[in-house]
Amino acid sequence: MMNIVFMGTPDFAVPVLQTIIDEGHTVSLVVTQPDRPKGRKRELTPPPVKVAALELGLPVFQPEKIRHDYQAVQEAAPDLIVTAAFGQLLPTEVLEIPAKGCINVHASLLPKYRGGAPIHQSIIDGEAETGVTIMYMVEKLDAGDMLLKRAIPITDEDNTGTMHDKLSKLGAQMIKEMLPKMEASVVEAEKQDEAAATFAPNIKKEQEVIDWTQDARSVFNHIRGLAPWPVAYTTLGETRLKLWSSVVAEGTTTEAPGTIVKLESDLLHVACGDETVLALKEVQPAGKKPMNVETFLRGAGAKLALGDKLGDL
């Protein structure tokens, strides 16, 4: 069995860590991002991997910059480093520590969607499938040689939350398959096609705003690509209206994008670009919890009428 240093931060990484433990390997150190302020009270909150590691009785190390603070990793003297959504690039000094190298569990079919938001971006782009790639780590972002790659479909019922859970589970299954090969040093690596590489950087605030001039399918993908976090929004008057789920409606309209063209008991039909229509299913008015459109139209949206516009501000 190997001595492994694990590096990860969000929920996505927890099943990978658990699998390494379940397979009987020694995790001599868990490296994760520092606690960060969260919520309205800005209370310092530990990342999910730290919570899981402490529950497992594992030592935790939280460097602000692993590039400048890696002595604890050297002292752990691992045979292998496994990372999953750690959130920092590893310097050469760390990459050269383990004899069997450093491998990363990445939530995309590399070389597509390198970067910090591969699940969000693959859905926003309307991809029919995504997957997980296990690769050797190098100093360049997500550019190492690939060791194992598996694809799964993205259905219209999926959003970033459902795909996150599916890919996290898949990553755990794949690391279980990969560890014996790493221990026996019987791996085959495939170089990435640099010409085919695309990037998925972390979602920026401005990307959360819906552009109603896009066609309905694009807006539909945008909404589910940002659900359940950070959640896309439009404006309703002078307030924000977060959009949690929708469906592409049948029919066309010549109304301007953003115009409410049909009100049903449980659907709010909005004109989009190319004369298409999107029906909103779940929304969240400012200061309220997410709710279905039926509840919304009985409360904060009760005064909405045909011809009103979303996203005017």
Strand order in the sheet with 146-153: 60-61, 26-31, 3-8, 80-84, 102-106, 129-136, 146-153
Q: Give the list of residues 6+ apart from residue 59 with CB closer than 8 angstroms, or none.
A: 28, 29, 30, 53
- On whether 108 is known to bind a ligand per the annotation, the reply is yes
Nearest to 70 by CA among 61, 81, 79, 80: 61
Nearest to 78 by CA among 14, 31, 34, 33: 31
Q: How far is Cα 74 from Cα 109, in angstroms, rounded to an integer?
A: 31
Give CA separation, 22 vs 45, 207, 243, in Å: 27, 39, 39
SS (H, E, C) 181-200: HHHHCCCCCECCCHHHCCEC
Residue 11 backbone zone (phi > 0: left; psi -120 to 50: alpha; other: beta): alpha
Relative orientation angle of helices 160-184 and 14-22, to the nearest 10 degrees: 30
- On whether 17 is known to bind a ligand per the annotation, the reply is no
Q: How far is Cα 243 from Cα 226, in angstroms, rounded to an integer?
A: 9
Q: Give the list of residues 6+ apart from residue 70 with CB closer than 8 angstroms, or none.
A: 63, 91, 93, 94, 97
Kindly compute the dihedral angle of the four CA atoms of residues 202, 208, 209, 210, in this order, to the nearest 10 degrees. 100
- On whether 110 is known to bind a ligand per the annotation, the reply is yes
- On whether 95 is known to bind a ligand per the annotation, the reply is no
Known binding residues: 108-111
Known binding residues for (6S)-5,6,7,8-tetrahydrofolate: 108-111
